[in-house]
Amino acid sequence: MRKRLVLVAIVLVMSWPGTATAQRGDDAQIEKGRVVVAQVCTTCHTTLGRMLQVHKQTPEQWRELVFFMISRGAQVMPDEIDAVTAFLVANSGRERPAAARPAQRDAK
């Protein structure tokens, strides 16, 4: 069952409609990100399709999330960070507006 869930998640990400998102980012970058997400993220996040649908975040927040997951153990290479972020930005949050992250602030 788990294996099937992972497979579904991979198929879902791999078949994500690229044309609908073309105007929201660089096509090649998004495509590269899509391949990495399918390889790296779906192993654990079997409901990735649903997660992407419901979570609307700003590009900065998605980038933070990629950093968070790298620190957490996701095997994203340095030259893939922008691509993964671009894919997440282009394909996420069709159901709601972004929520503000209240707490964190960068020191000057």
Partner 1 sequence: MSRTSHPSRRDFLAATAATGVAMGIGQVASSAPLQTAASRPDNPLAKGEPEIYRGTAAGAVLAQLRAAGVRTLFHTNTSGFVPFWEAVYAAGDVQVINMTHEGQAVAAAAGYTMASRNLGFFFGSHVGIPNALSNTYNAWKDRVPLLLTYSGGQREEGKDGFEWWDNTLGPTEAFTTWRGDLEPEDVTDTLRLAIKFAFGPPSGPVTLTFGAGGEKVEAAIHPLDLATMRVGSRAPADAIEKLARWLIEAENPLFVVGSQVGIEGAQAEMLALAEKLSVPVAETMHSLYANFPNDHPLFVGELQAQRYPRKQDLLISFGESFTAGREDERGLTASGPRRIVHISHDSQALGRSFVPDVSILSDLRAAIRDLSDAVDAIATSDRIARIRSTRLAQVSALTSSLKQSREIALRAHFDSSPVTWERVGFELEKVLDKDAVIVPELGTQYYKIYRQLKLGGTNKQRIGRTKGDALGWGVAAAFGVNLALPERQVVALQGDGGFLFNQSEALWSIARYEAPMLIVVMNNHSYNESRARNMLNGGTFYEAGKDFNGYLGDPNVEFTKIAEAYGLKGEKVTRAADLGPALQRCLRSMRDGKAVVLDVDVAVDGAPISQPTWYQKHSIAEIRKKRLNA
Q: Is 29 in the site for partner 1 (CB under 8 A)?
A: no
Q: Is 91 in the site for partner 1 (CB under 8 A)?
A: no
Residue closer to partner 1 (CB basis): 27 or 69: 69
Residue closer to partner 1 (CB basis): 27 or 70: 70
Q: Is 15 in the site for partner 1 (CB under 8 A)?
A: no
Q: Is 89 in the site for partner 1 (CB under 8 A)?
A: no
Give burial (CB, 10 Å; 0-12/13-18/19+) of 42: buried
Q: Is 94 in the site for partner 1 (CB under 8 A)?
A: no
To the nearest 10°, report the CA torsion of 66, 69, 73, 77: 0
Complete DSSP assignment for 33-93: HHHHHHHHTTTT-TTHHHHHHH----HHHHHHHHHHHHHHT----GGGHHHHHHHHHHH--
Binding positions for partner 1, rule: CB under 8 A: 2-3, 6, 39-40, 43-44, 46-47, 50-51, 53-55, 57, 61, 63-64, 67-68, 70-78, 81, 95-96, 99-107
